[in-house]
């Protein structure tokens, strides 16, 4: 049988399965990156930046972990519930990771690299924050819609 994806295209079950595997791998890679970046901060960066910028780095790292774990759990939950529209949920989570966490990581390096212009990346952090909120709200919408069907 054929399944409909969010874009309206019909896909063979094997294609849907590949997409699911790919999304799980993306979330696991995001978690691996969180570990690498966290270790980098703890062992190489901590002695080279002030407490203020280390706090920014730690915030980025914390949100990176939380939302990577959340993204993985959401993907698994959606698969279990038969929700196939994972594209936008994943776009929201990935955008949050890139814009929120990424901008905070970059800001925290401005002192170490003596590049004060890096602080300008803070302007995109709210886009990432809104992306995280969008991911959770869209997930809630899809799950509630599925459970009430």
Write out the DSSP string of 90-130. Answer: HHHHHHHIIIIIHHHHHHHTHHHHT-GGGGGGGGGHHHHHH
pTM: 0.84
Buried b vs exposed e over 36-50: b needs ≥16 C-beta within 10 Å?
A: ebbeebeeebeeebe
Window from 72-86, 94-108, 131-145 with minimum mean pLDDT: 72-86
Neighbours of 90 (CB within 10 A): 20
Q: Mean per-residue pLDDT for 107-118?
A: 86
Q: What is the pLDDT of residue 16?
A: 60
93: tokens are 């989570």
Average pLDDT over residues 94-104: 97
pLDDT at 5 over 50: no
Q: Residue 98 pLDDT > 70, yes or no?
A: yes
- Following CA atoms 141, 144, 148, 149 in sequence, which dihedral angle do they give, to the nearest 10 degrees? 60
Q: What is the pLDDT of residue 8?
A: 43
pLDDT at 41: 87
State the helix-helix crossing angle for 125-147 and 87-96, rounded to 10 degrees: 150
More confident residue, 3 or 36: 36
Average pLDDT over residues 101-112: 91
Q: What's the pLDDT at 51?
A: 93
């Amino acid at each position: 049988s054929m399944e409909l994806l969010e874009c309206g295209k019909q896909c063979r079950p094997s294609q849907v399965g590949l997409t699911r595997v790919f999304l799980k791998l993306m979330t696991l890679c995001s978690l691996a990156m969180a570990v690498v970046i966290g270790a980098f901060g703890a062992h190489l960066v901590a002695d080279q930046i002030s407490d203020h910028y280390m706090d920014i780095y730690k915030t980025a790292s914390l949100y990176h972990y939380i939302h990577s774990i959340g993204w993985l759990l959401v993907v698994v939950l959606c698969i279990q519930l038969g929700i196939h529209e994972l594209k936008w949920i994943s776009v929201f989570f990935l955008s949050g990771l890139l814009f929120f966490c990424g901008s905070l990581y970059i800001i925290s390096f401005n002192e170490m690299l003596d590049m004060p212009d890096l602080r300008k990346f803070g302007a995109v952090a709210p886009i990432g924050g809104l992306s995280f909120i969008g991911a959770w709200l869209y997930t809630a919408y899809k799950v509630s819609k599925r459970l009430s069907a």
